[in-house]
């Protein structure tokens, strides 16, 4: 069994959080701007880096060059928070040659601390095949990127980092078996969580029993966190039961014209989808065995009546046209579709297209990734989705003492 204190110490280095302030890094002093760019509403830093250098990871060169330019000319922006850029800001884009030199300076600084000794080993059981495979693959890529970036900056505690990943096939029993093996056979030092509330619920209990921290990037059902476990860390703003606040508040705060008065709530029999539905509809909800809580209805509180509520089976559902017709016949003005995968989201949308259903508003949850857009094309226009971001949470992660990547891969543009 691992010692919790040791894992806590390791974990503090991997996902340490701090205010999102851009720190100076090794650069070329007095660098010249090859081009000036004025931020538009759909810009973000990695997009600009990709445009000018063909590399989304080259954004630090633009940040540092802009801050250097600001020192002598305040018409340029001063980027204090790389998580937020504003429309109208003027940025300095250095030449490709200068950008490469600036980035090389950062790389050489990182390489000054070379990891040695026995590696610190992370372990993760992920759904690389089966119903959750799209998201599982994305988690795998993110975890591997994390390990690569840590090793580029000297590892953790001056030791190299490795990760062991296994495929749980989107199956609960396989996930449980694999996590037990990671802990007791592979002797990993720390676990990274799986994807989905359905898999995270039982697996997190194994982590608790073995005194292992369990950081969860995507497992939001409230019942995961109502068991009194002290080793779980969730990286999104709120649990599933409160996710429905986002599309409702968006309608109330931003929509023009007559707001929808009726809603259809259709969802997969999935931990996360059920959690969102429970929050929207309200009532008594079981969050742990024998433990019930009363949830208000987010829709009723907003003056929206639920005229149709339907759940489809966890696996094997194919009668999308019948479901779409029933939704259409309900005359609901607001459709809330809580799917468990991109495939379900695509099939639901295609079914609604086939029957010609045109509500005033549509919100779709899990499954609205790039694969959804590829599957339905222009039918995705106008569909509301949620994202794990909040304007008051101005924090970014650190990896090896450097600002985390997400700060500039998804910079928030203020309008």
- Of 254, 250, 220, the C-alpha closest to 336 is 250
CA-to-CA separations, 13 to 47, 82, 157, 161, 336, in angstroms, rounded: 28, 21, 8, 12, 40
Which CATH architecture group holds 114-234?
3-Layer(aba) Sandwich (3.40)
Q: Which structure tokens are listed for 224?
A: 């995961």
Q: Which structure tokens are listed for 107?
A: 């790389």
Contacts of 76 (CB under 8 A, 6+ apart): 66, 69, 70, 90, 91, 92
With a cut of 50, list the residues of the chain below it in pLDDT.
1-27, 112, 406-415
Give the tens place of pLDDT for each residue, 179-195: 999 999 999 999 999 99
CA distance 357 to 332: 10
CA distance 221 to 176: 18
CA-to-CA separations, 367 to 75, 273, 382, in angstroms, rounded: 42, 11, 16
pLDDT score of 395: 61
Topology agreement, domain 114-234 and domain 241-380: yes
The dotted CATH code for 241-380 is 3.40.50.2300
pLDDT score of 325: 97
pLDDT score of 154: 84
pLDDT score of 210: 95
Give the tens place of pLDDT for each residue, 295-309: 889 999 999 999 999
Q: What is the 3-state secondary structure (H, E, C) of the chain?
A: CCCHHHHHHHHHHHCCEEECCCCCCCCCCCCCEEEEEECCCCCCHHHHHHHHHCCHHHHHHHHHHHHHHHHHCCCCCCCCCCCEEECCCEEEEECHHHHHHHHHHHHHHHHCCCCCCCCEEEEEEECCCCCCHHHHHHHHHHHHHHHHHHHHCCCECCECEEEEEEECCCCHHHHHHHHHHHHHCCCCCEECCCCCHHHHHHHHHHHHHCCCCEEECCCCCHHHCCCCCCCEEECCCCCHHHCCHHHHHHHHHHCCCCCCCEEEEEEECCHHHHHHHHHHHCEEEEEECCEEEEECCHHHHCCCEEEEEEEECCCCCCCHHHHHHHHHHCCCCEEEEECCCHHHHHHHHHHHHHHCCCCCEEEECCCCCHHHHHHHHHHHCCCECCCCCCCCCCEEEEECCEECCHHHHCCEEEC
CA distance 98 to 95: 5
Contact 336, 280 (CB under 8 A): yes
pLDDT score of 239: 85
Q: Is 187 left (phi over 0), alpha (psi -120 to 50) or beta?
A: left
Contacts of 135 (CB under 8 A, 6+ apart): 127, 195, 196, 218, 341, 366, 369
Domain regions of the chain by residue span: 114-234, 241-380
């Amino acid at each position: 069994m691992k010692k919790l204190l040791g894992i806590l110490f390791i974990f503090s280095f991997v996902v340490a959080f701090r205010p999102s302030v851009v720190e100076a890094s090794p650069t070329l002093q007095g660098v010249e701007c090859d081009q000036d760019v004025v931020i538009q509403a759909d810009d973000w830093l990695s997009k600009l880096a990709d445009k000018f250098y063909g590399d989304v990871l080259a954004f630090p060169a633009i940040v540092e060059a802009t801050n250097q330019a600001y020192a002598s000319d305040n018409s340029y922006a001063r980027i204090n928070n790389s998580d937020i850029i504003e429309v109208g800001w003027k940025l300095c884009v250095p030449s490709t040659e200068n950008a490469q030199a600036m980035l090389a300076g950062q790389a050489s600084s990182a390489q000054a601390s070379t990891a040695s000794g026995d590696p610190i080993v992370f372990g993760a059981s992920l759904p690389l095949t089966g119903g959750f495979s799209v998201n599982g693959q994305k988690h795998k890529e993110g975890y591997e990127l994390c390990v690569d970036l840590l090793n580029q900056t000297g590892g953790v505690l001056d030791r190299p980092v490795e990760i062991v990943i296994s495929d749980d096939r989107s199956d609960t029993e396989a996930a449980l078996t694999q996590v037990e093996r990671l802990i007791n056979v592979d002797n990993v030092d720390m676990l990274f969580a799986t994807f989905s509330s359905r898999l995270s619920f039982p697996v997190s209990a194994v982590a608790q029993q073995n005194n292992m921290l369990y950081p969860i990037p995507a497992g939001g059902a409230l019942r995961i966190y109502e068991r009194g476990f002290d080793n779980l860390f969730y990286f999104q703003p709120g649990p599933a039961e409160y996710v429905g606040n986002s599309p409702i508040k968006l309608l109330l705060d931003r929509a023009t014209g007559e707001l929808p008065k009726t809603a259809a709530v259709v969802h997969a029999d999935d931990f996360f989808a059920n959690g969102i539905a429970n929050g929207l509809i309200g009532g008594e909800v079981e969050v742990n065995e024998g433990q019930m809580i009363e949830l208000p209805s987010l829709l009723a509180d907003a003056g929206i009546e639920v005229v149709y509520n339907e759940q489809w089976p966890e696996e094997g559902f194919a009668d999308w046209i019948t479901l779409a017709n029933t939704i259409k016949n309900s005359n609901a003005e607001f459709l809330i579709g809580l799917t468990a995968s991109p495939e379900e989201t695509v099939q639901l949308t295609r079914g609604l297209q086939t029957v010609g259903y045109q509500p005033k508003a549509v919100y779709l949850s899990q499954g609205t990734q790039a694969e959804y857009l590829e599957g339905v094309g222009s039918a995705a226009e106008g569909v509301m989705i949620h994202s794990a971001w909040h304007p008051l949470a101005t924090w970014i992660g650190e990896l090896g003492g450097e600002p985390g990547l997400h700060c500039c891969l998804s910079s928030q543009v203020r309008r």
